[in-house]
Amino acid sequence: MTQTAAITEAITTLEDAENRFGFVRVEDEQFFPEWYEELSEITEAEKASVDVVRRRYLYHRTGGDLLEGTVILLLVSPILALSGFYDPPFRIKAESSVELVLDDGQEILRGRIDVLVLQDQLWVMVLESKKTTLSVWSAVPQALAYMMANPNASKAVFGMVTNGDDILFVKVTQTNTPQYDLSRVFAPFASARELYAVLQILKRIGQLISPAF
């Protein structure tokens, strides 16, 4: 009999993700250079726009913890827009369902991704927002599971995990053995320069997954 479970319940630790999907973490600088190499300088106008986003986020954040919907409105959506992901050739899907079939159909894992960025009908970015009181690391296992739903296993998929205060980038490849690695944690709550770097990385990923690149 086929068993169905929620991804958030079935995959709660990195050990779960590694055991269920065969993930191996690759701690090699050459595996995930996209978060620190060949990043374009951002303009003063872009910095000013990032400053506005950060100022609004800080204003609301100082009033207390923020739920994921608020984090998406205040931080995730504006930074995606500034990165160009709301413009051609990309398309946005919000609250998109994900289904993973495991063990030859004996188990089905289901979940819902907050935001998907699609290019040529391929999933290229997964964002998972959590309440600001939760560590950004707590969302990584579920993000890895969602990223396994990438329909084109021959291409790398990039993710961004955030609780608002912290932002972490993830890269997954599925050629042969599923592999992943993580960036350092960026903390826009602490410094505007951190959010500038996030914009640079997102723009770099956008260049890599654009057919014009």
At residue 213, does pLDDT exceed 80?
Answer: no
pLDDT digits (tens, 9 = 90+) for 53-96: 999 999 999 998 888 888 889 999 999 999 999 998 888 887 77
Q: Please tell me the pTM assigned to this model.
A: 0.90
Measured CA to CA, the distance from residue 199 to residue 79 in angstroms comes to: 7
Q: Could you read off the pLDDT of 141-162 as tens digits, one per residue?
A: 988 988 888 877 888 889 898 8
Domain spans of the chain, in order of start:
3-209
Write the CATH number of the domain with boundaries 3-209: 3.90.1570.30
Cis peptide before 78 (omega within 30 of 0): no
Q: Chain-wide mean pLDDT for the chain?
A: 86
| Cα–chain center distance at 195 | 15
